[in-house]
Each structure stands twice: as structure tokens, then as C-alpha cells.
Structure 1
Amino acid sequence: MSMNANAYKQTYNNAQVMTAPPGELTLMLYNGAIKFLKLAINAMKAKQIEETNKNIQRAQDVISELMCTLNMDVEISKNLMALYDFMNRHLLQANIKKDPALVTEVLDLVEDLRNTWVEVIKVNRSQSAQVANGLA
């Protein structure tokens, strides 16, 4: 990709983040974590230690960001905080042991959370559309 194409892509991505509703931002974070976890697994299998470390750390950064977005006044946030903490600790162990199975366990959890979040967004959109149409 050329330098100009990279600059345009970065500008587009920044605009997406800046204009996305909060629910969509959370979905972007889950998708980012999934991307980095898959890259880490592939790098681990290819014995690319530096690339493995970089992608595990990027996934941990995303999970830390998810932790920061939690509203701890809501009960489910306490459960999510514990789950995110587990994921970060699991990824630390995966990075130390270079064990793709540990990364895969976290990947499965993040994919489940992302899929659940997609359903939440769909329900919210449906309810918003009903309210907008005066049906609720």
C-alpha cells in the first residue's frame, strides 16, 4: 500500500471512530482484539516471537480499553471486569509460554462477547426504530 493510501485509510479509520456511537465503538474494540489474537496465533505457529509478542500486547491493550469503558455501577460490569482481567492474565501466560492454545481460549471468549454484542446492537436498533415510528 502506498504512503498516500495508508494516510487515507488512517484518516478514514479515525473518522469512523470519532463518529461511531458507543455501542459501535465497543464492537470495533472486540473486532480489533479478535484480529490481534488471530495474528498472534499465526505468528506463534510460525515461531515469529517478536510478531507474537506485538500482537498479544495489542490485544491486551484493547482488552484494557474495554475495561476502562465499563460502568462499574452496573452489575454485569463487575462480571465483565473479572472476565477481562482473566483474559489479560491468560494472554500474559500465553506470551510467556508461547502457547497458542491459551490465546485460542481468549479468542473464543472474545468472539462470544462480540457475537453477543452484535445481538445487543440489533435489539437496540430495532427498539430505536420502533420508538422513531411511534410503535413502542
Structure 2
Amino acid sequence: MAYQQYQAYQNNSVNTATPGELTLMLYNGSLKFIKQARKAIEQQDYQNKNVMIQKTQNIVRELMVTLDQDAAITKQMMPLYEFAYHCLTQANVNNDSEKLTEAEEILTQFRDTWKELIRQERIRKHGQGVKS
């Protein structure tokens, strides 16, 4: 029963989120999957490591595809996404936690920047901050 309530809450959170909040959820999800992949490498659970890294790669691909190709910032962001994706691939092929860390650092910086933009926008519009 509690799991069903949690699922309903999660679905409601996604369905009512703004596009900016959805992007923040993607960043947070990618970081969660990287942590799970790192743990799987440590435990030599290579099947789960593969699943977690692929989930992260899917998120990075989604972030890349949804970039506004006409925005000037895209030319700066895309190479960073491509590098993070490459690091994830290398981490998966070589069971390399250091490559996971490289991807994690990039995604953390994007997430933190995005979170700050949402916070500033909420303050500008409503005088509200953003929760972690």
C-alpha cells in the first residue's frame, strides 16, 4: 500500500512539474544512477552497473536532444554532454569508477546551475526558493 502511495506521489510530481523542474529531475536521476553504478562496480555486480550506466546515458542523450540548437549556450553545453556520455561509456566498458566521477562532476555542475536558475526564477516571480 505504501509503495502504491509513493508511486502516485511520484507520478503526480512529474505530471505537475514545470519543464525546468523536469530537467532538474533528470539531472538528479542521472546522479542517483551514477552512485548506484559506482556501488555496483565496487560489489562487482556488473549487470546492475551496466543497467545504471545505461539509464544515465539515456538521460544525458535526452538532455542533449532537448537543447535549443539556436541558443548560443548550446555550443558550450553540447561538448560537455558528449564528454560526460563518453566517460559513461568508458566507465561501463572498463568498470572504471574514475570515469564515473568525471561524468558525475559535469552533471553535478549542470544540476547545480539549473537548480540556481530555478531558484532565481521563483524568487523573481513569486518570492520563493527551490527545494533540494
TM-score (norm 1): 0.87
Counterpart in the other structure of 1:61: 58
Q: C-alpha offsets along residues 88-109 of structure 1, whole Å, 9 cap, x if unaligned? A: 1111111001100100111111
What is the deviation of 1:78?
Answer: 2.4
Tell me the distance in 1 between the aligned counterparts of 2:70 and 2:124. 24
Tell me the amino acid that sits aligned with residue 55 of structure 1. M
1:109 corresponds to 2:106: yes
Q: Does 1:32 align with 2:5?
A: no
Amino acid at match of 1:120: L
Corresponding residue SS for 2:73: helix
Q: Give the RMSD, CA atoms, in angstroms.
A: 1.3
Quick one: which of 120, 123, 126 aligns to 1:123?
120
Return 32-41 or 107-116, whichever deviates more: 107-116
Alignment partners' CA distance in 1, 2:12 and 2:70: 30
In the alignment, structure 1 segments of 5+ residues that lack a partner are: 131-136
Equivalence map 1:1-136=2 (5 Å): 4-129=1-126
Gapped runs of 5+ residues in structure 2? 128-132
Aligned length: 127
* CA deviation after TM superposition for structure 1 residue 63, in Å: 0.8
Q: Could you tell me how far 1:15 is from its partner in structure 2? A: 1.5
